[in-house]
Amino acid sequence: MLIAPSLLSADFANLQRDVEMLNQSACDWLHLDVMDGVFVPNISFGFPVMEAMARYARKPLDVHLMVVQPEKFVERVAALGAKVMNVHAEACTHLHRVIQQIKAAGMQAGVTLNPHTPLCTVEEVVEDLDVVMLMGVNPGFGGQRFIVNTLDKTRRLRELLAKKNSRALIEIDGGVNRETAPLLRDAGADVLVAGSAVFGAACPEDEIAYLKNL
């Protein structure tokens, strides 16, 4: 499994230090959570902060846009050098078009589903996707309790991807920790995002290695 620590739980007064720590760790991607206070009831950070983090990051960036009209930001996310751009299906009226825009900009296309959003929302586009990300919590905050239905949803997504011959990775965001990570692995997850589990640990690097070696 790939591990993508979320910088949402980092120390914002020491972002360079935390990015350097992740560079040294066994993690695979850096997960950057952008919130606009409209799509989700919180505001996190935007492009100036991500540009600063990107200057030090030596791991691929996985940018998760929790904003309305994410298509407005495809070029700016690409300019960060991001590997993956994740947009919410609920935020895109023309989801197919946004996916093509992300790929045309040279990035991998990810579509994220809120806990209540059914898998059929992405059924017609999964062949075009590099990542399908399932929220394990309602987006907006770190440190929330994992919604258990996400396990069954992950299993059903694995079946859908097989049926459609899609090679998309299954990424899970929210509520990932030592207890839920093995269950998610068994359900078919490929990428686990972890914020509070990593940055709340006594030693974040050890926690990343623990999750990675499950």
Residues involved in catalysis: 33, 173
Q: How far is the CB of 163 from Zn ion (least distance, A)?
A: 27
| Three-state DSSP state, 213 | coil
User: Of ligand DX5, Zn ion, none, which one does residue 142 interact with (CB within 5 to 8 Å by kind)?
Assistant: ligand DX5
Q: Yes or no: say if 151 and 183 are a contact pair by the CB < 8 Å rule.
A: yes
Q: Yes or no: say if 192 and 3 are a contact pair by the CB < 8 Å rule.
A: yes
Q: Name which of residues 126 to 155 contact ligand DX5 (CB under 6 A).
A: 137, 139-144
Q: Position of tokens 């359900």? A: 187
Identity of the residue, 43 or 104, whose beta carbon is nearer to ligand DX5 in the bound complex: 43
User: Of ligand DX5, Zn ion, none, which one does residue 197 interact with (CB within 5 to 8 Å by kind)?
Assistant: ligand DX5
Q: Which of 158, 167, 154 is nearest to 127 (CA)?
A: 167
Q: Binding segment for ligand DX5 among 68-76, 77-85, 169-177, 206-214 (CB under 6 A)?
A: 169-177
Quick one: which of 70, 110, 195, 204 contacts ligand DX5 (CB under 6 A)?
A: 195
Q: Name which of residues 4 to 43 contact ligand DX5 (CB under 6 A).
A: 6, 8-9, 31, 33
Identity of the residue, 123 or 179, whose beta carbon is nearer to ligand DX5 in the bound complex: 179
What are the start-end ranges of the H helices in the chain? 15-24, 47-56, 74-79, 95-104, 149-163, 180-187, 196-199, 204-212
Instruction: Catalog residues that contact Zn ion under the rule CB under 5 A.
Output: 33, 64, 173
Q: Residues 6 or more apart from 182 whose CB is under 8 A from it?
A: 214
Identity of the residue, 107 or 165, whose beta carbon is nearer to Zn ion in the bound complex: 107
Structure token pair of residue 182: 């093995």
Nearest residue by C-beta to Zn ion?
Answer: 64
Report phi then psi at 98, rounded to 5.
Answer: -60, -40
Residues that bind ligand DX5 (CB under 6 A): 6, 8-9, 31, 33, 64, 137, 139-144, 173-176, 193-197
